Structure 1
Amino acid sequence: MKKITPDPPLADPTFADPLLEAQKLKEAADRAIDYYLNPRLIKDPAAPRKPSTLFIVDPAADNETLLVHACESLASASIMASDLAGFIDGPQRSSLLGIQQVIMLGELAVNRVLDRLVPE
């Protein structure tokens, strides 16, 4: 009677050099670690980064204009945070008032720069 399947090979195909296996395992582990902990290595470093132009500040805008808009934005954020704090109680209110104070300090710093700015 004929056999349908051939005899298995005499040599064990799973046997391999332990040093080679250890090297392959180390390389695989390094690739995995680099993929998750250092993703910049995976990307092509020669490709230039192209920033999004969806929200862009006009490069031709002068410093005074930029500072005035920053001051107005900070003032608006301060008022919004202060108004919202009126509706909240407890530690969240204290946190929101702390954020409002940081915004206000930023607004004061921008105002000081505007005061020192020499008109052109």
Structure 2
Amino acid sequence: MKKIVPDPPVSPPQDAAQCEALSLDRAATERALDYYLHDHKPPRHVDQATYAIPDSVNLEAALAQASDLLRCAGASASEAGNGLSGHSRSLVLSCMHLVELAKAYVDKSLDGVTTH
């Protein structure tokens, strides 16, 4: 009787080293797929802040620190804008003006704080 499905080809038994190499290749493939196909970034919690301001900071100290930070941000934007031209320069300089406006409000609030 003739078989419909032929016998599989006779292959020599694989040695242990070849099996180990194949399993290492398979493991490397799975690691690569996991790395590129899955997002491995840890979830960021909303309640975690990058900077923690201690509760002991009073209003005057907080406003003074905010004023200094805004001054630095304005200076950085000004320097960055000087090296640009066109639309990019306009965007950076408009950010600088917004920072200066925010600094003016903080300074005005700082003037109104009564010192003890």
Q: TM-score, normalised by structure 1?
A: 0.56
Higher relative contact order (CA 8 A, sep 6+): 2
* Structure 1 unaligned spans of 5+: 1-48
Identity fraction in percent: 21
Report the counterpart of residue 17 of structure 2 in structure 1: none
Looking at structure 2, the residues matched to 112 and 52 of structure 1 have their Cα atoms a distance apart, in angstroms, of: 30
Match in the other structure for 2:92:
96
| 1:8-87 equivalent positions in 2, closer than 5 A | 51-52=47-48, 55-87=51-83
What is the aligned residue count?
A: 72
- Tell me what 2:10 maps to: none
Counterparts of 1:101-112 in structure 2 under 5 Å?
Answer: 101-112=97-108
Determine the C-alpha separation between the residues in 2 that align with 1:102 and 1:55.
22
- C-alpha distance after superposition, 1:37-95 (max 9, x if no partner): xxxxxxxxxxxx88226521111110000000000000000000001100001101001
**Runs of 4+ with deviation above 3 angstroms:** none
Could you tell me how far apart the structure 2 residues matched to 1:74 and 1:89 are?
Answer: 24
Q: Deviations over 1:4-62 (max 9, x none)?
A: xxxxxxxxxxxxxxxxxxxxxxxxxxxxxxxxxxxxxxxxxxxxx88226521111110
Instruction: Please name the residue that 1:113 is paired with.
Output: 109
RMSD, matched Cα: 1.6
TM-score (norm 2): 0.58
In structure 2, what is the Cα distance between the partners aligned to 1:90 and 1:69? 33
